[in-house]
Structure 1
Amino acid sequence: MKNSKLYLGLGIFFTALIILIREWETLAHLNTIFFGNYFDALKNYYTLLYHVKWDESYFTFEGMNYPYYEHVLFTDNQPLIANFLKFLYDLGIPVEYITLGITNSLLFIGMVLATWFNYRCLEKLSVLPWLSMVAAVGLTFLSPQTDRINGHFALSYSFIIPLLLYQGLLFLEKPDFKRSLIIGILTVSVSFIHAYYLGFALLIYGCLFLINLIGQRVSLKKALLHFALQVIGSLVIVEGIMALTDSVKDRPSYPWSPFLTNFNLHGVFFPVGKPLGSWIGRNFGMPPVEWESIGYIGMATTLFFFASVLALLVMIFGRRIKSHPFVKGGAQKHFLVLTTFLALVTPALFTALANNEWTYMHMGPIRQFRSIGRFNWVVFSSLNFIFFGWLSGVIQKKKAFITIPLTIVVFAFFINDIYWNCEKPFHENHEHPLLTEGSKAQAEMRNTLQGIDVIIPMPYFHIGSESFVYERGGGEHYLNTMSVSYACGIPITAVMLSRTSLEQTLDNLTYMAFPVTKPEYFEYLKEKSIAVLIKNGEDFKLQEQLILNSTTDVLFEGDGFSIKKLDLNALSSNYTDYKSQHAFGEESLKKGIVFKDYESNTDKSYFGEGALKVKPEAPREVDSFIIPDSLVGAEVKIGVWAYLYEQSKAIEAADIKFINANNEELGSEFFSLRDNLTALDGFWGYSERTVRIHPQTTKIHIVFRENGLYPSPTYIDGLNLSVLEP
């Protein structure tokens, strides 16, 4: 199209200019500024920086989860990018000094690329060059993925979805095997930036396959061959790489929060958090929208969509459907329409299925897409491309009495939406000297901890196994721990990753938080020099005090934390005292008022032979205690051993119900196994809850709640009730 390259160049220029104006101060300090301070943002920086400089393997991340480590795909460190930089580092190129700057700059380069691919997609739809330029730039800054620049860096690349769509449009223009091979390589590549891009690619290229079949553009045999190259082959390669490089077999496949980020249709069409959205919400009411479901497409495109749906219904009844803008046009438009439709329907269907226990249990690997609302981002691109294609067609008809007011209204909505999306900064700027390569603080810390092999943070934290979430210390503690780890290249025992092995999780939590006896784990540390990073002013738990009491030399004293040397011999000796004074064995538990040891015929047991197998129906009454009058009003502890080496068993919960002589419920107390975990021994965990017995209570019932995530039997042993000493 005439002047197409000129307008594309102008679009790139305007995007770059806007970034330059908005981010001038940031761009001048890309190599020393961090866009996030805590949690996901911090973890994403740390795992990438550490992998490039310190890891020995391209597929293993050695910074956390010592001594087991973790596969890079579960660190959120953008493995494709991290491993490219690591390859350069291994060649002797000192990229560690610019890795932070490269990571930050890619977020802005991604916006420029988004403008490029937005324009190219619109160009394929024969949109007027000047309109393509305006839309390409505007969609770049309206993209819901800009919200991720402050934390989920891999998800902030708003060019990837337009790139995937553009390859589909090119294929429909010329369906050859070379293009299919490119699509296959692209699908594999984006999978190793973030796993959700694989999901987007599968949906988009699944639509491409259907368009090929429906439109009979190629024979069935060729369509299947193209699909094999684009999708099946990509899946085989990704799964093959994981099979060869990941030895863990017990990752949780039942996410603990599948209902946390449900798809919300109004997340696509409603300006959440914007003035217009707030006004509508106040005056007309609007259900809450999960953050992950926000994929607002803009008011003009929203009005176009609903008007088009209404027109479609009218045309169906009037038998004029072929003239509808969704129907008329070539294969490229049909591809975008089908992609939009399935990107709306698939998450809605997922949500409906996930909210049914039986179907959720049989959904297979797609359970992992718990943040299904992110598929709204595909709708954002595909539906906006359709809208601007339609608008261009209206403008080209040159009916001024329609074109001029329509264009003014569209641009007014478009500019308003972009303004409110960009009104606040996309990120916050922070400085972390220990994470900044070449800083004085980093050099001093490296010298201070010279000879140290492992760091144990106190309090210990373990976030990422799905079933177990042990959050201790808070964001500043995580920052200090990861900063010291990167500065010195020393692994930590703590975890802030994704889907960590259940066995490794139980091991680490046993050793660091809930031991019954001296753990064999410390065999790993016999020949190691160990430091304990201690958060100042923390209220430490029993096991944490045990480790702290075994520290000797102070290696570092600073604001917010200190570092001490750990004496393993002292720790071993202290464990003997710990075992005798705070035992959780059978004899200790029997000292309570009531101790119930179950000998059912099961293959699992903690005390003696067998355990009580609690069926998955809900509610599941486990057992009951008869309460004598002398205990009414007293504080008691109720404890139970449960088998936790099974998916989602750690999030089991029970109700402690107080019953009177008439068998009426007087009240109840919630009893979470995970939140009240006191000890771990192998795959068994002891949870204990303190409650006060209600007046008139004659009996206590222990009733397990339904676990919709994984409704398998629960095995319990050693149910105990004891009275707190006055």
Structure 2
Amino acid sequence: MKKDWLGSILLIAITASIIFLLFSPVLKHPNGFLFSKSVDPLKSYYNFSYYLKYDSGIRHDGINYPYGDHLQYINSHPIYVTVLKFVDKHIYPIADYGVGILNLTMILSFLIGMPLLYLILRRFKLPAWYAFITALLIGFLTPQFDRIHGHFEMVYWFFIPLFWYLLIRYREQKKPVLWGICLLLSGIIGGFISAYFVAFYAILLIGVLIADLWFARKHLKPQLKSFAYLFALAVIPILAVKGLVGLTDWVSDRPTNPYGFYVYHANVFSIFLPSEFPLKGFLSKYLDLSFQWEGRAFVGTPATIIACILILIAPIAWLSRKKPDWSFFFQDKSYQPYLLAGTLILLFSMCFPFKWGFGFLLDLLPPVKQFRALGRFSWLFYYIFTVYSALIIFHFFKNLKAQKRRILAYSVLVAVFLSWGFSAKYNVDRGTRGLFNVNDKLSSNHDDFLNRFVETKVDVNQFQAIFALPFASTCGDKLLFEHGMTALGEAMKCSYHTGIPLVQSFSPRLSFTQALSSIQLLADSAIQKSRLDDMNDKPLLLITTKQELNEQENWLVSQATKFWEDQYITMSILPVQVLKTSHQNWKKHALELSHKLDCPQELCTDTLSDLIYYNGFEQLPAKNTFTGEGAMYQRRGTMEVLNQTLPINSGLADLSFWLYFDTRHYDMPQPTLTIWDQAGNQILKQKLNNRQNHNVYHNWVRISTQFEAHPNYRYQLTVKGKYTCIDDLLIKPLKSNVLIKKENQQNLVNNFILQ
């Protein structure tokens, strides 16, 4: 309709004017600002910008050196950045402006989303003026607005209205082939921007299909064909995205059980209450109004009132012994499938039914649990229910006018617009707060940074990769090092300006094997660094911040040669041979020690053997073992490993054991050491470090601690968690040395393997 196109153009013009007022500095200097300098959003900027400048194809070589990573798993907007790479190579050079392109794309996405909302409202026969105002209000109230501080691909809020609008046109059965193809393409393109978008697409279509099946339950047969088509439209984009990524991914051990599925979800308060309201402080004394920010999708006060009315109609009618009258709320039958689908999706975003005793269903639907932030699915409900509320409010407005109550009709409408408007303004104010940070990390000018190397006469090309300290990494949420986030940010800056890749990656979907090998670079010298086998002999560029370093990090810094320093960072040259030599020296020392300690028994020591406690759990055959044929395993709960007195002298003692890194659960089991004196008094209860641990060997993590030992005290070691498996528990006096002989020649020296 001509009116729709005119309305859409005018809406784009008004939206552009508002955006100019909100983002004027960024629109004038797109590359001059970072919407956030914290590491998570900086990582998104870096991944996008580095690829645009240096890489091509499906592989990002700027992180996780020397392996790189697949574009689909690192928030790089794969299909979009690939198109931009083509533009840079064949049309116009834009490689230096990744930050600006990303900023403008996020901002200008509103110009696509607004007319789509307007067209959706018009499809349900709302007048142009009303649809125009409502689209503006719903658009600027969108919960996706504040994602502009991070998770940048989630700011592209137009995808959900796009999926919905194309679905509406397809279901109208006018040119279904054309609209069906457009719908498929939108799902596939969305999927190659973010996996969440193809999931939103699929759950919207499947939700509508379930609603259609319900409403047509008495006459299913004539519509089975159309239902089959809709199901095919829902699943083809998922299969296309997953299939292409699977075919091109060179990694087979990515995490499939991320943290957050049972945490980052929506609830009633996150949907129907604003973040702040006058009575919140008072009500919080009596109600738990808290919710996870990932589940925030406030629909506005007018929509909340309508939801309350819908909930109360049935009990009020029951109390008055009347049949509830739903006719006013369901006048448009074509909207009912969307409303039911939106409600089902809302329940899913609240972790229903999984959090209510049906978690076993995840074993039947393993891809579902990969979405750690279920709360994001509530965004679909947000758009469906706000549009529905707009329909109900307009029907109410028309009824009042028909009753000659024009003043009241317009008063209600103004009140609704003001309420939604104030909420939208608060949403925009919160979203733009602290947004305009000077881009001093990934600017288009590289000279200032490269001058550091020129001044110190250090050749940039001599380095194979950058290693940052304090160390930062996540390994499927199991081993987590967050102390070095600032250093990682500085390393990204250096990498972008020099083109030198990073050893580290803070991606939660990184290959377990590769993540563990980067963590292992700071392991004890007793552990051979497997990652070095895939690296060359060129030195590493070591970047350290002024933060406190741990013992292993300090040792590494002591082996490097500093060449540049300012108030924020130090840059040094670290020969990789240092890491190789340290292990060779340990191995030489361990071999000499093992010859010196050699004895007929399994356990040899340079102190009294009675003072040593060792358990290899050989009597407990297990699927996974560190050495030998046995290990202690428990599927879930608290496992008691040790609970007895030990014939140990007074003084410092060393406790160590190996804990299996089981990928079936996102968390590491938690070991706890408890000590009681002879009178039965508890003198120590200590949780052992199980998350920030560099001593990794294959799929095992060495847990260790030192404690003050006393003879005849009782020592208890428990491990709580899921899929807990431990092996080779050793307790010894701190300064003593212990050799444990194994049949497979994997002898243990002080509980490290000597091959």
Q: TM-score, normalised by structure 1?
A: 0.89
Superposed displacement of residue 37, structure 1: 0.3
Q: How many residues align?
A: 709
Counterpart selection for 2:238 from 235, 251, 268: 235
| Distance apart, 1:140 and its partner CA | 1.6
Alignment of 1:27-426 (within 5 A): 27-56=27-56, 58-91=57-90, 93-174=92-173, 176-213=176-213, 214-215=215-216, 219-272=222-275, 274-276=276-278, 278-279=280-281, 281-282=283-284, 284-312=286-314, 318-319=322-323, 321=325, 323-325=327-329, 327-331=330-334, 333-350=335-352, 352-353=354-355, 358-359=360-361, 363-397=365-399, 398=401, 399-401=403-405, 402-424=408-430, 425-426=432-433
Q: Please say which of residues 649-658 and 179-188 is displaced more in the overlay.
A: 649-658
Letter in 1 for 2:331: K
Render the CA deviation track for 1:639-671: whole Å, top value 9, x for unaligned: 211222544486111222334668786763223
Aligned-partner residue type, residue 160 of structure 2: I
> Structure 2: which amino acid aligns with 1:440?
D
Residue 700 of structure 2 aligns to which amino acid in structure 1?
Answer: W
* Alpha-carbon distance, 1:367 to partner: 0.7
The offset of 1:148, in angstroms, is 0.5
CA 1:23–1:36 in structure 2 vs 1: closer, same or farther (change >3 Å)? Answer: same
> How has the CA–CA distance of structure 1 residues 606 and 532 changed in structure 2, closer, same or farther, with 3 Å as cutoff?
same
Q: Is the 8 A contact 1:550 1:568 kept in 2?
A: no
Whole-angstrom distance in 2 between the partners of 1:93 and 1:416: 43
Aligned amino acid, residue 621 of structure 1: E
Shift of 1:724: 7.8
Is the 8 Å Cα contact of residues 456 and 531 (structure 1) preserved in structure 2?
A: yes
Q: How many angstroms apart in 2 are the aligned matches of 1:395 and 1:517?
A: 74
Question: How far apart, CA to CA, are the structure 1 residues paired with 2:381 and 2:179?
Answer: 24
Corresponding residue of 1:482 = 492
Structure 2: how far apart are the matches of 1:643 and 1:83?
Answer: 40
| Distance in structure 2 (CA, Å) of the matches to 1:581 and 1:278 | 65
Contact 1:557–1:563 (CA under 8 A) maintained in structure 2: yes
Counterpart for residue 468 of structure 2: 457
* Aligned AA (1:618): G
Give the Å deviation of 1:721: 4.8
- Residue 264 of structure 1 and its aligned partner are, at CA, apart by 1.6
Q: What is the deviation of 1:314?
A: 5.2
Q: Does 1:703 align with 2:718?
A: yes
Per the TM alignment, residue 512 of structure 1 is displaced from its structure 2 partner at its CA by: 3.5
The alpha-carbon distance between structure 1 residues 211 and 571, as it changes in their structure 2 partners (threshold 3 A), is closer
Query: Taking every aligned residue pair, what percent have the same amino acid on both sides?
Result: 19
**Per-residue CA shift, 1:582-612, capped at 9, x if unaligned?**
99998789987422222133354334x2232
Question: Deviations for 1:497-525, whole angstroms, at most 9, x for unmatched residues?
Answer: 13211111222211234552342432333
Q: Distance in 1 between matches of 2:173 and 2:434?
A: 41
1:380-402 deviations in Å (ceiling 9; x for gaps): 11000001111222223323534
Kindly provide the CA deviation profile for residues 523-571 of structure 1, in whole angstroms up to 9, marking residues without a partner as x.
33334343222223532422x344333323x443333112222223444
Taking the aligned partners of 1:7 and 1:434, their CA distance within structure 2 comes to 41
Secondary structure of 2:726 counterpart = strand
- Rounded to whole Å, the distance in 2 between the matches of 1:407 and 1:520 is 67
Counterpart CA distance in 1 for 2:422 and 2:260 is: 35
| Aligned partners of 2:209 and 2:230 also within 8 Å | yes
Query: Are the aligned partners of 1:30 and 1:100 in contact in 2 as well (CA < 8 Å)?
Result: yes
CA offsets 1:662-714 (integer angstroms, 9 cap, x no match): 87867632234224x35222222211133456x99732121221x2xxx3351
> Is the CA contact 1:640–1:686 (under 8 Å) kept in the aligned structure 2?
yes
For the Cα contact (< 8 Å) 2:78–2:193, is it kept in 1? yes
Q: Which residue of 2 aligns with 1:673?
A: 690
Q: Call closer, same or farther: CA 1:113–1:92 in 2, change over 3 Å.
A: closer
Maintained 8 Å contact 1:126/1:389: no
Aligned residue in 1 for 2:502: 492
Q: Which residue does the alignment assign to 2:750?
A: none
- Which is worse superposed, 660-669 or 16-25? 660-669
C-alpha deviations, 1:213-235, integer Å up to 9, x for none?
44579944432442254122112
1:44/1:678 Cα in 2 relative to 1: closer, same or farther (>3 Å)? closer
Post-superposition shift, 1:283? 6.1
Q: 1: distance between equivalents of 2:414 and 2:254?
A: 54
The gaps in structure 2 that reach 5 residues or longer are 595-602, 737-755
Map of 2:635 onto structure 1: 616
* Closer, same or farther: CA 277–416 of 1 in aligned 2, 3 Å: farther
What is the aligned counterpart of 2:726 among 691, 711, 715?
A: 715
Q: Is the 8 A contact 2:45 2:98 kept in 1?
A: no
Q: Compared with structure 1, are the counterparts of its residues 650 and 414 closer, same or farther at alpha carbon in structure 2 (3 Å cutoff)? A: closer
How far off is 1:306 after superposition? 1.2
Cα root mean square deviation, aligned = 3.1
Q: Is the 8 A contact 1:594 1:722 kept in 2?
A: no
Say if 1:604 and 1:715, in contact at 8 Å, map to a contact too. no
Matched with 2:571 is: 563
Is the CA contact (8 Å cut-off) linking 2:41 and 2:152 kept in structure 1? yes
Moved more, 172-181 or 567-576: 567-576
Q: Distance in 1 between matches of 2:536 and 2:464?
A: 11
Q: Distance in 1 between matches of 2:178 and 2:313?
A: 39
1:326-378 alpha-carbon deviations (Å, 9 max, x no partner) = x33132x1132122211222223446437766555555221112211111211
Distance 2:86 2:273 in 1: 44
- Report the 3-state secondary structure (helix = DSSP H, G, I; strand = E; otherwise coil) of the residue aligned with 1:16: helix
Q: Distance in 2 between matches of 1:43 and 1:381?
A: 29
Alignment correspondent of 1:538 = 548
**CA 674–582 in structure 1, closer or farther in 2 if over 3 Å, else same:** farther
Query: In structure 1, what residue type is equivalent to 2:268?
Result: L
Cα shift at 1:275: 3.6
